[in-house]
Copies of this chain bind each other. A is one copy, B any other.
Amino acid sequence: MSLLTVGSVAFDAIETPFGKTDKIIGGAGTYIALAAAFHAKNQKIVAVVGDDFPQEMLTLLEEKGVDLEGLQIKQGEKTFFWSGRYHNDMNSRDTLVTELNVLEHFDPIIPEKYQGVDYLMLGNLSPQVQRMVIERLTVRPKLIAMDTMNFWMDIALDELKNTLKLVDVLIINDEEARQLSHEYSLVKAAKVIREMGPKYLIIKKGEHGALLFHHENIFFAPALPLEEVFDPTGAGDTFAGGFMGYIAATDDASFENMKRAIITGSAMASFCVEKFGTERLTEITKEEIEQRVQQFVALANFNF
């Protein structure tokens, strides 16, 4: 089934305790699209870049089956740029530079041929832009998932709440869940947030795994214990891409299948952190993904 990915396609410059990069390709939309492409064979993207964005990555996305008609290339403008430095524990980071550039006035135009898309993944963007995408789709997708971040809770909470009413799955981290709900317990936070709209809530806990909440059901997916986290950038987006790519590929949005989708997303994210930026995602094979998923089975499996 078809999947529409909406999100930033950008440049990042990253510093971790292991080294630093020059400007490399990043952005939520890039990570989502790359991770989803291993699963969903009919992916489309709505995003915007400047004329400084390298053709190589666009070619790579096309080779992976991503339709780029919805990717706007703004002549004479520059691509979104973010730069950050991770602390020694890799769990926190400082933003050094944010240049919105083309994202400042991003108008998410939906190509006519994208209408009728089956699944929609809204990467982290302003909640206004996310809502605009939903409203511009003439047929509601079977499942709409979105990511967001604390930044939008700080500066655009009302807009965010309006968008939340329209989505099925919200994917955020534990800190963001606590901020959005004003509850410390994640079980209580999930109740509050699900009353805001999303029937499904996924709370990412980084190295501590992820939780899926739906009605009274809770599923817990572990993270793979790793010797080294080289660069966490994009891990959350990669998780979301693996999750929605799997849902779209299997065309099954049941709770049981969402469990498999979360394990798939976790497996994709465990690759992402092994190298800087999108590097690892561009080189893994289907066989490696299958092996990694089986590592999760071995890690979490028990019989009672």
Contacts and interface: CB of A to CB of B under 8 A. Distances in A.
A56 interface: no
A216 to B, nearest CB: 10
Number of copies: 2
A89 B298 CA distance: 32
A109 interface: no
A263 interface: yes
A219 interface: yes
The 6 closest A-B pairs by CB, nearest first: A220-B222, A259-B302, A208-B208, A187-B227, A187-B225, A220-B299
A284 interface: no
A297 B293 contact: no
Given A226-B185, A304-B293, A298 B217 contact: yes
Q: Is the interface of A mostly helix, strand, loop or mixed?
A: mixed
Interface of A: 89, 184-188, 205, 208-209, 211, 217-222, 225-229, 256, 259-260, 263, 293-294, 296-300, 302-304
Contact of A220 (B185, B205, B225, B228): B225
Nearest to A184: B89
Contacts of A293: 304
23 contacts: A185-B226, A185-B227, A185-B228, A185-B229, A208-B208, A209-B222, A211-B225, A217-B298, A218-B299, A219-B299, A219-B300, A220-B222, A220-B225, A220-B299, A220-B300, A221-B302, A256-B302, A256-B303, A260-B303, A263-B302, A296-B304, A297-B304, A300-B300
